[in-house]
């Protein structure tokens, strides 16, 4: 099957490392807001009267809007310019952060978080796309490693930042701190970044954007609402059915429209498929675990927000140190994409299982051992998966490729919070003693307040800890199975192609990485 020749790459930008620092700053602030809210959950429960469903929506509103718009944002940045998309994203993110800091109710905070998700979608797609545009050759893996280290720091460092701020200020400070960062980013992007766009100038895919957003929101809403309204309730079934139908329509539309925002031919590349599957499960396990662990540290072990953030910090620090030291980059040539994903996700699954096995009975030391394994696994697997995704997409579609990478991370994280949070809620409600009203199962503080005596309060704590154990084991199983699937796809993609035979059809598509133009 013939394909258009790939134009030679442009010369590396002379200020590429300064540009990398700018885009990493934008990436950091966006990803911090995925997890910074976790340590504020007790404060939000008290000040805004938020229940478990409200808390989950405060977290998921940001992730779902962002993940629903990432593909659209990537396509628009390719079409209209990545520098322009960064500027608009920073402005929207700063305004949404200010509104979230001043929210007076759960509904207002959820709406503000959704608005921040719009800006975050523009930022996430353009930062990685800019990295792929200004770096060339052997510097690309190094740049992705730095970008991945900052991304991991933002994703895992949220609890620490939130703990520091909540130790001295009110919960709104976790959002207000984004405003000066957004202003600094606006100035730096305007002065330093070159403009780049797809010369083909593809038109926006509005139906695809609507279908993908409706599909993801519908499915995750069903998951969140299931424990509260019953999995067989009309509300949950209707939401799930709408979500599945919308995603099916999205796939059908993208396969036939002449200007898709996600080219379905990408999925004929096994390396692309393996990286997407692995990235989804890494985000699932990491986001869900952080959501659960920050509550466990504060609500069960009794740590203050800053203390809880400090105890979560080894995960972030280990990921950053390993990425910056180039451990993953040195391992990749030796063990390949498949080996890196298998080892990394195996360690991540082992860390989640260790938390489940030791966390409840051994306090913080058991959690620390699990966090160390999780950090090692993420540092090895994540850069390999990012490189595989971006390497399977033509350079002129870098925004779309970044959209896929970001969608996988955000959607996987949203599903992790929703699924593991739903399991925790269900197990917690089922384990409450008979003396505690079932209506109080919305949150641990409510159940403790409704407990009539010390024995009942002890039973409530035990029920929450057992729910945590079940959730972590489910997360570990999902990550392990996903890692095996991802590694198998990547292994098949990296195998040398068999020599063509005389009877092979001339237009048979190939699954090898060489069939897709790469960026390096």
Read off the pLDDT of each residue in 382-397 and give the average, rounded to a whole number. Answer: 71
Digit-coded pLDDT (tens) for 271-329: 777 777 777 877 787 777 777 777 777 777 777 767 777 787 788 788 878 877 777 66
Residue 208 contacts by C-beta under 8 Å, 6 or more apart in sequence?
71, 72, 250, 253, 254, 257, 260, 261, 262
Per the CB < 8 A criterion, the answer to whether 329 and 275 are in contact is no
CA 149 to chain centroid? 14
How far is it, in rounded angstroms, from Cα 383 to Cα 122? 21
- pLDDT at 241 (0 to 100): 92
How far is it, in rounded angstroms, from Cα 416 to Cα 302? 24
How far is it, in rounded angstroms, from Cα 278 to Cα 486? 5
pLDDT band at 349 (very low <50, low <70, confident <90, very high): confident
Per-residue buried b or exposed e for 271-309, using 16+ beta carbons within 10 Å of the residue's own CB: bbbbbbbbbbbbbbbbbbbbbbbbbbbbbbbebebbbbb
How far is it, in rounded angstroms, from Cα 156 to Cα 356? 19
Lookup: tokens for 148:
């991945």
Does the pLDDT value for residue 139 go beyond 80? no
pLDDT band at 360 (very low <50, low <70, confident <90, very high): low
Long-range CB contacts (within 8 A, 24+) of 513-516? 513/269, 513/271, 513/391, 513/392, 515/3, 515/268, 515/269, 516/266, 516/269, 516/272, 516/392, 516/393, 516/394
pLDDT > 70: percent of the chain: 82
Task: Kindly state the DSSP code that residue 296 receives in the 8-state scheme.
Answer: I
How far is it, in rounded angstroms, from Cα 255 to Cα 225? 32
- pLDDT at 1 (0 to 100): 41
Digit-coded pLDDT (tens) for 421-476: 778 888 888 888 888 787 777 777 788 888 888 888 888 888 888 888 888 888 88
Read off the pLDDT of each residue in 234-249 and give the average, rounded to a whole number. Answer: 89
Concatenate the DSSP letters of all residues of 489-518 into one string. Answer: HHHHHHSPPPPP-TTS-TT----SGGGS--
Q: Closest Cα to residue 349, out of 191, 202, 487, 196?
A: 487
Digit-coded pLDDT (tens) for 52-67: 667 777 777 777 787 7
pLDDT band at 238 (very low <50, low <70, confident <90, very high): very high
How far is it, in rounded angstroms, from Cα 325 to Cα 329? 9
- What's the chain's average pLDDT? 76
Per-residue buried b or exposed e for 366-392, using 16+ beta carbons within 10 Å of the residue's own CB: bbbbbbbbbbbbbbbbbbbbbbbbbbb
Digit-coded pLDDT (tens) for 2-29: 444 444 445 666 778 888 888 888 778 7
Where helices occur in 135-266 by DSSP H, the ranges are: 139-166, 173-176, 178-192, 206-229, 234-256
Query: 16-205+259-494+511-515 has which fold?
Result: Growth Hormone; Chain: A; (1.20.1250)
For the chain, domain boundaries? 16-205+259-494+511-515, 206-249
- pLDDT at 202 (0 to 100): 64
Residue 333 contacts by C-beta under 8 Å, 6 or more apart in sequence?
none
How far is it, in rounded angstroms, from Cα 186 to Cα 1? 44
User: In terms of pLDDT, which residue wins out, 270 or 348?
Assistant: 348
**Lowest mean pLDDT, pick from 154-163, 214-223, 484-493:** 154-163
Task: Kindly state the DSSP code that residue 441 receives in the 8-state scheme.
Answer: G
In this prediction the pTM is 0.70
Lookup: tokens for 437:
């009203």
Per the CB < 8 A criterion, the answer to whether 87 and 404 are in contact is no
What is Dmax (Cα atoms) for the chain?
81
């Amino acid at each position: 099957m013939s394909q258009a020749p790939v134009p030679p790459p442009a010369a590396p930008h002379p200020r590429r490392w300064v540009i990398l620092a700018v885009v990493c700053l934008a990436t950091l602030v966006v990803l911090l807001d995925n997890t910074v809210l976790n340590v504020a959950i007790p404060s939000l429960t008290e000040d805004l009267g938020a229940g478990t469903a409200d808390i989950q929506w405060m977290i998921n509103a940001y992730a779902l809007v962002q993940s629903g718009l990432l593909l659209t944002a990537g396509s628009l940045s390719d079409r209209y310019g990545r520098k322009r998309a960064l500027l608009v994203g920073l402005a929207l993110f700063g305004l949404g952060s200010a509104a979230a800091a001043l929210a007076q109710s759960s509904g207002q905070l959820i709406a503000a978080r959704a608005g921040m998700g719009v800006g975050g979608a523009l930022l996430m797609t353009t930062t990685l796309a800019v990295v792929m545009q200004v770096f060339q050759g052997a510097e690309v893996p190094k740049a992705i490693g730095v970008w991945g280290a900052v991304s991991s720091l933002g994703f895992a460092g949220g609890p620490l930042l939130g703990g520091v701020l909540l130790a001295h200020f009110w919960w709104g400070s976790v959002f207000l701190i984004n405003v000066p960062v957004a202003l600094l980013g606006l100035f730096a992007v305007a002065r330093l970044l070159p403009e780049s766009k797809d010369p083909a100038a593809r038109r926006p895919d509005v139906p695809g954007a609507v279908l993908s957003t409706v599909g993801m929101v519908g499915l995750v809403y069903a998951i969140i609402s299931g424990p509260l309204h019953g999995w067989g309730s009309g509300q949950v079934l209707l939401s799930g059915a709408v979500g599945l139908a919308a995603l099916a329509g999205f796939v059908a539309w993208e396969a036939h429209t002449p200007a898709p925002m996600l080219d379905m031919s990408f999925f004929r590349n096994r390396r692309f498929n393996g990286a997407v599957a692995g990235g989804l499960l890494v985000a699932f396990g990491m986001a869900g675990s952080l959501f659960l662990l920050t509550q466990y540290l504060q609500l069960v072990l009794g740590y203050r927000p800053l203390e809880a953030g400090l105890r979560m910090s080894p995960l972030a620090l280990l990921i950053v140190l390993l990425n910056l030291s180039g451990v993953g980059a040195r391992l990749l040539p030796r063990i390949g994409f498949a080996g890196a994903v298998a080892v990394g996700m195996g360690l991540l699954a082992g860390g989640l299982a260790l938390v489940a096995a030791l966390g409840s009975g051994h306090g913080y030391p058991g959690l620390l051992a699990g966090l160390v394994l999780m950090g090692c696994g993420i540092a090895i697997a994540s850069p390999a998966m990012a490189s595989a995704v971006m390497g399977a997409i033509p350079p002129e579609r870098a925004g779309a490729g970044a959209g896929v990478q970001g969608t996988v991370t955000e959607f996987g994280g949203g599903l992790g919070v929703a699924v593991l949070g739903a399991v925790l809620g269900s197990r917690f409600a089922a384990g409450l003693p008979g003396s505690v009203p079932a209506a109080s199962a919305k949150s641990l503080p409510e159940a403790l307040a409704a407990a009539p005596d010390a024995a009942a309060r002890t039973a409530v704590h035990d029920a929450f800890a057992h729910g945590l154990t079940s959730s972590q084991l489910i997360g570990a199983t999902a990550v392990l199975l996903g890692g095996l699937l991802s590694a198998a796809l990547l292994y098949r993609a990296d195998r040398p192609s068999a020599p063509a035979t005389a009877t092979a059809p001339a237009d048979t598509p190939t699954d090898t990485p060489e069939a897709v133009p790469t960026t390096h």
